Amino acid sequence: MSLSNLKKDRGRKGIEALAAEAAKMNKPGGSFDDDRFWRPSRDKSDNGFAVIRFLPAVEGEDIPWVRIFSHGFKGPKGQWYIENCPTTNSGKCPACERNTELWNSGIDANKDIARKRKRRLQYISNVYIVSDPKNPENEGKVFLYKYGMKIFTKLMDAMDPDFEDEDAINPFCFWEGADFKIKIRNVKGFVNYDKSEFAAASKFLDADEKALEALYEGQHKLQPFVDNSEFKEYKVLREHVESVLQDGDSPQSSAADEAAAEEDVQAEGHSPGPGSSPSSSPVTNDDDDSDSGSAEATVTVNSEDDGEPKSAHAYFEELADED
């Protein structure tokens, strides 16, 4: 952006505006009740449709997305562990360490538990809502959008298509990008985003410079979501994971955990987790996790003590059902 824009910004986004933004970031419950986030709605049969446009990196940031690992699982006594995972920034994570122990035990029941508790990968980008039939008031506005591996893969495929008859596009580009059609279905009880696709490349908002500039200025910074302040200290996380697990498991596997693992397998129907690469641990091989793909939720996964919103629990239960 030009200097004149920067100067203009100075008036519009003064210290008060920055303070308000900072307050939003620190709000307990994270993005779940953060109205900067958008999520596609679904009907009773879990079908959903919306058209969005991914937006470029904001000024001062290089990449138009951030990626965040998080955990969301229940301990044997029903308590939740919902925390951002420090491995996002190459930190040490007590929940991942516990998973590695379980995985390395070689016991199938332990591996199932590790799958259930593994870190989940999510991305955040700025998007413009082109069409949201269930909530038309969102149309024409900029939001943050949290999504999973499946949609991220579609973004990557658009930039580097597999077949010669497909033209590479930069889906984040105002001038040469494309609208993205989100198509959600319920496939055998799993929320499925497979049918989602890009429309043909098109100029965004007819490349109207004024409209683009206004929109660009309304985008949100992404880096604050992966700032170290968003991740609790190792000691704090270890205390939390220990209190949730309450000695309820060990690498040798207790009877209670075996029962829980059986339940998990039945509930999920399938477990495409770490088992896809038997020799490695769940800590390092879950990047290609497909069942966290396309998460449509808007929760930032950092709870404040036991005060995480009920809806966050519902979100994580739902996440386990995504395919």
Q: Which positions touch Zn ion (CB under 5 A)?
A: 85, 93, 95-96, 119
Name residues whose C-beta falls within 8 Å of residue 165's C-beta, 6 or more positions apart in sequence.
none
CB nearer Zn ion, residue 53 or residue 119: 119
What is the closest distance, in whole angstroms, from the C-beta atom of residue 312 to Zn ion in the complex? 17
Residue 60, classed as helix, strand or coil, is: coil
Phi/psi at 21 (nearest 5 deg)?
Answer: -65, -45
CB of 229 to Zn ion, least distance (A): 17
The whole-angstrom separation of Cα 318 and Cα 296 is 10
**Cβ proximity of 181 and 193 under 8 Å:** no
Which residue's CB is nearer to Zn ion, number 58 or number 283?
A: 283
CB of 277 to Zn ion, least distance (A): 18
Question: Do the Cβ atoms of 267 and 320 come closer than 8 Å?
Answer: yes
| Alpha-carbon gap, residue 73 to 312, rounded angstroms | 11
Closest approach of Zn ion to the CB of residue 94, in Å: 8
Q: 85 vs 182, which CB is nearer to Zn ion?
A: 85
Q: What values do phi and psi take at 197, rounded to 5?
A: -160, 160
The nearer residue to Zn ion, 39 or 115, going by C-beta atoms, is: 115
Choice between 58 and 95, CB closer to Zn ion: 95
Task: Indicate the residue among 55 and 66 with the shorter CB distance to Zn ion.
Answer: 66
- Residue given tokens 């949290």 in the structure block: 146
Residue 265: count of CB within 10 angstroms of its CB: 16
Nearer to Zn ion, 199 or 236 (CB): 236
Q: Which residues are paired to 83 by β-bridges?
A: 71
| Closest distance to Zn ion from the beta carbon of 83 (Å) | 8
Closest separation in Å from C-beta 291 to Zn ion: 16
Amino acid sitting at position 65:
W
As given in the structure block, the two tokens for residue 248 are 């309820």
Minimum CB–partner distance for residue 81 and Zn ion (Å): 10
DSSP lists the bridge partners of residue 52 as 129, 180
Tell me how far apart the alpha carbons of residues 145 and 56 are, in angstroms, rounded to a whole number: 13
- The residue written with tokens 């498991």 in the block is 249
